[in-house]
A = this chain, B = another copy of it.
Amino acid sequence: MAGPGTDPNAAGLVFWFDFASSYSYLSAMRIEAAARKADVAIVWRPFLLGPIFNAQGWATSPFNLYPAKGAYMWRDLERRCGARGLPLKRPPGFPQNGLRAARIALAASETPQLAAFCRAVFRAGFAETRDIAEPATLEWALEQAKLPKTLLDAADDPERKAELRAIGDEAAARGLFGAPSFTVGDELFWGDDRLEEALAWARDAK
């Protein structure tokens, strides 16, 4: 399951995100700059919220199950994107299926273009109303990140499937229940609102 920079027990901060998660979009677009400022190393760690939600008895996102919560989320996201100058267009269906994108991100995790690929997928889903499960979208995201198209094959690679499942098991074992989440050793922080606190924790843990 390894590869450099993927050990969640290493120093630094692990950024747990789901490509379909609206608040993960907020964090993905700012974490690199925030981490540089805090002088903290980041590990991008894609995982799937679906199995976590299922284990809580939810067949879909709580934002769909609980309409008041969902309506608020979109308005809150709109306000925050507005304040940060981030584009936002409601995706075609929510939540999208981020499974293939996550497997490709794992395959790209040993390249310096991982963050650029992830940002491109988030932009496709939350700013350009593209279906992030579509090969054409993923190919576009690879191009944006200057990564080879051959990485598309990772979406069906049994090793990446197993790796993503193992990450999901680890997320559950660590008590993750939503995204984005940030871990520093065993310390868990949930939500884009906790990014600064998580980075400070990682800095102090050095």
Q: Residues of A at under 8 Å CB distance from B?
A: 56, 66, 68-69, 71-72, 75-76, 79, 175-178, 188-191, 193-194, 197
Contacts and interface: CB of A to CB of B under 8 A. Distances in A.
Contacts of A79: 197
A175 B71 contact: yes
Nearest to A189: B76
Given A75-B188, A79-B197, A188-B75, A175 B56 contact: no
Contacts of A56: 66
Nearest to A181: B72
B197 A72 contact: no
A7 B189 CA distance: 37
A188 B66 contact: no
A190 B74 CA distance: 12
Contacts of A68: 175-177
A191 B73 CA distance: 12
Given A68-B175, A69-B177, A177-B66, A193 B190 contact: no
Given A56-B66, A66-B177, A177-B66, A72 B193 contact: no
